[in-house]
Amino acid sequence: MKESDLYQPLKQFLESQGYEVKGEVRECDVIAVRGTEDPVIVELKLSINLGVVLQAVDRLSMSSAVYVGVPISCSALKRQRRHIFKLFKMLGLGLILIDPHANSNGAQVLFDPGEYRPRKSKSRRERLLGEFAKRIGDPNTGGQEKRRGIMTFYRQRALRIAGFLQENGPSRVRDIAKELDDSKAGDILYKDVYGWFDRVSRGVYTISPRGTQEVPLWII
């Protein structure tokens, strides 16, 4: 497929809306004009990447009606649809899906350009600041590889419990909670998110073989 394969279906769609359409006008892939309205500018691309975003943003100096047109098979859109929508709306860009094989109705406007104000999430903000305040020290390097995991306040609590079990052997939940001053220690032991704990008997836990192996890797 070539970018030019997207032109005719889009041209037919725009002409059905009463636009006069021309291709390749002063570096713009598609220009559509209707009366005294702002001209519609469409940049045709086979995928969505930083290059086409920068190109489309540059076109905003000539019109407020700037779109990016991509094929319905666009893999980037399938992988990151929600994030792409959010970015385009923040930048004031529109997005059009084009079927290069359609005989009619070969284009679909997913959304038009317009002013965008992201909705604030009070709960996400509170969780962010809560984690920041509770985390002990600064154990992570910004931008580090996250495949192994990062140090969170929850992981720090689990490490304290694992350290207690390594030092004291199988222990009762209430004793662990009292010694570590962590009233929710039982929840961490029961959920065992990291696989570090084994239940010996009711209310009694010990460190697991996996915990014995992994915990030292987190202690600097």
Q: Where are the domains of the chain?
A: 3-111, 126-218
User: Quick one: pLDDT at residue 148?
Assistant: 64
User: Quick one: pLDDT at residue 79?
Assistant: 87
> What pLDDT tens digit does each residue of the chain (220 aa) get?
788 888 888 888 888 889 888 888 878 888 889 888 888 889 999 988 898 899 999 888 888 899 999 998 888 888 888 899 889 988 899 999 998 887 777 888 988 888 756 566 778 777 777 777 777 776 766 555 555 677 888 999 999 999 999 999 999 999 999 999 999 899 999 999 899 999 999 999 999 999 998 888 887 5
CATH class of the region 126-218: mainly alpha
User: Quick one: pLDDT at residue 117?
Assistant: 64
Torsion angle defined by CA atoms of residues 153, 155, 161 and 162, in that order, rounded to the nearest 10 degrees: -150
User: Quick one: pLDDT at residue 217?
Assistant: 83
User: Quick one: pLDDT at residue 121?
Assistant: 75
Angle at 194 between CA 189 and CA 196, to 5 degrees: 60
Residue found under tokens 């709960």: 123
Pick the CATH number of 3-111 from 3.30.300.30, 3.40.50.2020, 3.20.20.70, 3.40.1350.10: 3.40.1350.10
Residue found under tokens 């892939």: 29
User: Quick one: pLDDT at residue 135?
Assistant: 74
Which residues face 219 on adjacent strands?
none
Residues whose CB is less than 8 angstroms from the CB of residue 8 and which lie 6 or more positions away in sequence, other chains included: 106
Question: What is the distance between the alpha carbons of residues 104 and 121, in angstroms, rounded to a whole number?
Answer: 42
